[in-house]
A and B are shown apart, each in its own frame.
Chain A
Amino acid sequence: EAQVTQNPRYLITVTGKKLTVTCSQNMNHEYMSWYRQDPGLGLRQIYYSMNVEVTDKGDVPEGYKVSRKEKRNFPLILESPSPNQTSLYFCASSSRGRLGDIQYFGAGTRLSVL
């Protein structure tokens, strides 16, 4: 089954404790993105990757890091989480096609930073 898998689905942590949210896709997609979703603000792009070893900042990259060492994986790293990073995070992947780049989303990771 074609899917984007994020882990963990839920995470509660404390300020300053480094964490990684993993994202993996099995569709051989070139493009992967991370978004955060906050009430009233919609989805905002954090980072995106056009292919292996190619990453770029989205609209809200501060406090986050990413890496793309393999095509299928695109982990999101919070080196020193802060309470304002409490949010719902989505990973997405897409591939060029006739219908443009349709993004397929993972199920989401709900993060609380205390």
Chain B
Amino acid sequence: GQNIDQPTEMTATEGAIVQINCTYQTSGFNGLFWYQQHAGEAPTFLSYNVLDGLEEKGRFSSFLSRSKGYSYLLLKELQMKDSASYLCAVRDRNDYKLSFGAGTTVTVRA
């Protein structure tokens, strides 16, 4: 099974940078996903890491260290529309089960 930890809430100012950490303990690792979920809406895919290192996608980047069981999602040049919950999810070797953290609510203030 998985044990996934991420902070509950974070607040940042428009234009700033925020880093959301995710730590996990797993019996078998087969990829880590980040999803964004606006209030009352479905989660949408942001990024995927399976190898160590940084994946960059526009204003969003995601980092993975498998040896440390650690990932972060970096949001740059924050915009008001980035106010949402960010979900870290880990896939185990079963390859069909995806376990989610409880999510980090990011509030962007003007």
Binding site for B on A (CB under 8 A): 31, 33, 35, 40-45, 48, 50, 56, 58-59, 90, 99-108
Q: Can you report 27 A-B residue pairs in the complex whose CB atoms are below 8 A from each other?
A: A33-B98, A35-B100, A40-B102, A41-B102, A42-B100, A42-B101, A42-B102, A43-B89, A43-B100, A45-B97, A45-B98, A48-B96, A48-B97, A56-B96, A59-B1, A59-B97, A59-B99, A90-B43, A100-B50, A101-B95, A101-B96, A101-B98, A103-B33, A103-B98, A105-B42, A107-B41, A108-B42
Contacts of B89 in A (CB 8 A): 43
Cβ 8 A contact of B87, one of A42, A48, A101 = A42
Q: Mark B78-110, 1 if CB is under 8 A from A, else 0.
A: 000000000101010001111111110000000
Cβ B43 vs Cβ A100 within 8 A = no
Q: Mark B41-76, 1 if CB is under 8 A from A, else 0.
A: 111110010100000000000000000000000000
Q: Considering the chains assembled together, what is the distance between the CA atoms of A33 and B43 in angstroms?
A: 14
Measured CB to CB, the closest approach of chain A to B77, in angstroms, equals 24
- Please, which residue of chain A has its CB at the minimum distance from the CB of B46? A102
Report if B31 contacts A (CB, 8 A). Answer: yes
Contacts of B48 in A (CB 8 A): 99-100, 102
Contacts of A58 in B (CB 8 A): 97
Measured CB to CB, the closest approach of chain B to A42, in angstroms, equals 4
Q: Considering the chains assembled together, what is the distance between the CA atoms of A35 and B50 in angstroms?
A: 23
Contacts of B99 in A (CB 8 A): 45, 59
Measured CB to CB, the closest approach of chain B to A52, in angstroms, equals 15
Cβ 8 A contact of A100, one of B1, B31, B101 = B31
Q: Which of B31, B43, B87, B101 has the most CB of A within 10 A?
A: B43
Cβ A42 vs Cβ B96 within 8 A = no
